[in-house]
């Protein structure tokens, strides 16, 4: 898109936003074209702005969600089932995700008649997330577990089950849809789904959350959450260190600075403590600062393979040992991550993240497995000291096995990244896999640092992890 076209869309959006009753937009900030650094639009400070300054205000009435959309009244049956959490007349129950996709498709088809048209015009039509990558581009992620999370097929199954029937079943409501093939509608659902993934805000149980925000509770009440598109708040880009945040007021959302922002600095929101793999999957970009949250998924199978090789177990012995393990507690994969404090209240970090221990649940499962093997064949593991040695060796071997599944080394990846003419997608993929390899290396160094005669149980206790 030409710079002129891009800027006139930005201006139309800002004029529209300023015309909304109850909206505010500080004269000390500006929406800027950041495409040169592949960041689309963003908001930049025009002068130094002190901490705790409100930058803009978005009235709740202008958010696109089930509360503000006319669709709820037009298609009560479709959205009723979400409230009652029941399937009605075999119609699939809509969830917050599918609900917002349908609402956005409805507004898209309304074209100029949509009250959100200038806002919809500044939302993206294409995406850099791996869902839209070629096979060769995905291959660049190498052994990253994120490859199994791209989920294009699942998304399309959902669109066929929940989105298409609503549109096709209500041609008078989605009038412009009649000229579209099913395939075109699926592509439109992809576009809206990806927009939601990288732009929507989650208004999960806001009122109740104040009473009790334990993770358990949130899981129990998942169906009550709603998602919404918040004009202007979603123009903010993000990084692991950020300088602004969104306050959820009763009538409006306000965005305020967390610390002094210098003239020319970008205003950055916080999308969450995501590893680069997740940032890429959801938002289509990566940043050096997010690598502190990188994770690696270690499959239990690799631990078992290392155990089998180390102890010379037969597959029958392994099977028998596995039967002793508690099925309900059994984990197939373990997440390796660094210990990272929560960001400071001003959005900065006090300390770098640091690998401080193998996952507790992995150590427990390995210990249980070793006890089980001892029951199957007492000669394998004669005493506790031997058991600790085996644990140590097996963990190192498993890390090495996982590392060897990445076809290139850390040094090779660093060389690739320092080269020129790298496509943005390749750069992102190499950054993700390199971050995972570095974490694996740190885990290995950590394990090697524990003297082989010390027990893993003597390893430093993990401190509080950042909440995910």
Ligand X SMILES: C[S@@+](CC[C@H](N)C(=O)[O-])C[C@H]1O[C@@H](n2cnc3c(N)ncnc32)[C@H](O)[C@@H]1O
Taking the complex as a whole, the smallest distance from the CB of residue 40 to ligand X amounts, in Å, to: 2
Taking the complex as a whole, the smallest distance from the CB of residue 236 to ligand X amounts, in Å, to: 6
Q: Is residue 198 part of the contact set for ligand X (CB under 6 A)?
A: yes
Taking the complex as a whole, the smallest distance from the CB of residue 198 to ligand X amounts, in Å, to: 4
Q: Is residue 272 part of the contact set for ligand X (CB under 6 A)?
A: no
Taking the complex as a whole, the smallest distance from the CB of residue 359 to ligand X amounts, in Å, to: 29
Nearby residues of 152 by Cβ (< 8 Å), 6 or more positions away: 131
Are the C-beta atoms of residues 246 and 201 closer than 8 Å to each other? yes
Judging by DSSP bridges, how do beta strands 252-257 and 244-248 pair with one another? antiparallel
Q: Is residue 287 part of the contact set for ligand X (CB under 6 A)?
A: yes
Q: Is residue 237 part of the contact set for ligand X (CB under 6 A)?
A: yes
With 0-12 CB in 10 A as exposed, 13-18 as middle and 19+ as buried, what is 222? exposed
The number of residues that bind ligand X (CB under 6 A) is 16
- Residue (105 or 235) nearer to ligand X, CB: 235
**Footprint on residues 126-155 left by ligand X (CB under 6 A):** none
- Residue (237 or 276) nearer to ligand X, CB: 237
Residue 150 phi, psi (nearest 5): -65, -45
Write b or e for each residue in 254-289: b if 16 or more Cβ atoms lie within 10 A of its Cβ, otherwise e: bbbbbbebeeeebbbbbbebbbbbbbbbbbbbbbee
Smallest Cα–Cα separation from 246: which of 43, 456, 87?
Answer: 43
Binding residue (CB under 6 A) for ligand X from 238, 276, 340, 391: 238
H/E run at residue 191: helix 182-199
- Residue (159 or 285) nearer to ligand X, CB: 285
Q: Is residue 285 part of the contact set for ligand X (CB under 6 A)?
A: yes
Q: Is residue 334 part of the contact set for ligand X (CB under 6 A)?
A: no
- Indicate if the alpha-carbon torsion angle 177, 180, 186, 187 is positive or negative: negative
Q: Is residue 40 part of the contact set for ligand X (CB under 6 A)?
A: yes
Taking the complex as a whole, the smallest distance from the CB of residue 336 to ligand X amounts, in Å, to: 25
Binding residue (CB under 6 A) for ligand X from 10, 41, 297, 442: 41
Binding residue (CB under 6 A) for ligand X from 199, 201, 203, 355: 199
Tell me the two tokens of residue 411. 């040094």
- Residue (238 or 276) nearer to ligand X, CB: 238
β-sheet bridge partners, residue 45? 29
Tell me the two tokens of residue 264. 């020319």
Q: Is residue 56 part of the contact set for ligand X (CB under 6 A)?
A: no
Which among 183-191, 278-286, 345-353, 404-412 is the span making contact with ligand X, rule CB under 6 A?
278-286
Are the C-beta atoms of residues 456 and 443 closer than 8 Å to each other? no
Residues that bind ligand X (CB under 6 A): 38-42, 198-199, 234-235, 237-239, 283-285, 287
């Amino acid at each position: 898109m030409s710079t002129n076209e891009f800027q006139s869309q930005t201006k139309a959006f800002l004029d529209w936003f300023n015309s909304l009753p109850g909206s505010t937009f500080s004269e000390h900030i500006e929406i800027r074209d950041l495409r040169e650094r592949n960041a689309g639009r963003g908001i930049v400070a025009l002068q130094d702005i002190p901490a705790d300054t409100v930058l803009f205000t978005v009235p709740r009435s202008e958010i696109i969600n089930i509360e503000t959309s006319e669709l709820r009244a037009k298609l009560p049956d479709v959205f009723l089932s979400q409230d009652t959490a029941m399937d009605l007349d075999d119609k699939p129950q809509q969830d917050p995700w599918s609900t917002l996709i349908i609402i956005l498709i409805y507004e898209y088809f309304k074209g100029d008649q949509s009250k959100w048209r200038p806002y919809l015009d500044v939302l993206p039509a294409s995406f850099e997330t791996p869902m839209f990558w070629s096979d060769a581009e995905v291959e660049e992620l190498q052994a990253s577990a994120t490859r199994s999370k791209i989920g294009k097929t699942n998304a399309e199954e959902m669109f066929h089950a929940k989105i298409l029937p609503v549109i096709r079943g209500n041609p008078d409501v989605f009038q412009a849809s009649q000229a579209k093939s099913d395939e075109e509608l699926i592509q439109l659902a992809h576009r809206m789904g990806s927009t939601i993934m990288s732009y929507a805000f989650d208004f999960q149980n806001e009122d109740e959350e104040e009473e009790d925000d334990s993770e358990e509770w949130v899981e129990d009440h998942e169906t009550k959450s709603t998602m919404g598109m918040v004009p202007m708040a979603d123009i903010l880009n993000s990084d692991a260190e950020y300088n602004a945040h969104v306050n959820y007021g009763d009538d409006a959302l306000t965005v305020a600075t967390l610390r002094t922002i210098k003239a020319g600095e970008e205003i950055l929101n916080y999308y969450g403590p995501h590893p680069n793999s997740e940032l890429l999957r959801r938002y289509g970009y990566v940043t050096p600062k997010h690598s502190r949250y990188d994770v690696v998924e270690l499959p239990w199978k690799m631990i078992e393979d290392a155990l089998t090789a180390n102890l010379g177990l037969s597959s029958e012995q392994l099977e028998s040992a596995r039967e002793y393990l508690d099925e309900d507690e059994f984990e197939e994969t373990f997440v390796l991550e660094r210990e990272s404090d929560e960001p400071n209240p001003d959005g900065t970090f006090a300390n770098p993240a640091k690998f401080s221990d193998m996952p507790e649940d992995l150590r427990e499962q390995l210990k249980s497995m070793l006890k089980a093997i001892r029951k199957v064949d007492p000669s394998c593991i004669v005493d506790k000291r031997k058991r600790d040695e085996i644990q140590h060796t097996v963990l190192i071997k498993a890390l090495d096995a996982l590392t060897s599944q990445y076809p290139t080394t850390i040094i090779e990846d660093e060389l690739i990244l320092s080269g020129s003419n790298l496509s943005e997608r390749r750069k992102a993929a190499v950054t993700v896999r390199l971050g995972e390899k570095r974490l694996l290396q740190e885990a290995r160094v950590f394990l090697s640092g524990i003297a082989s005669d010390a027990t893993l149980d003597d390893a430093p206790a993990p401190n509080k992890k950042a909440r995910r």
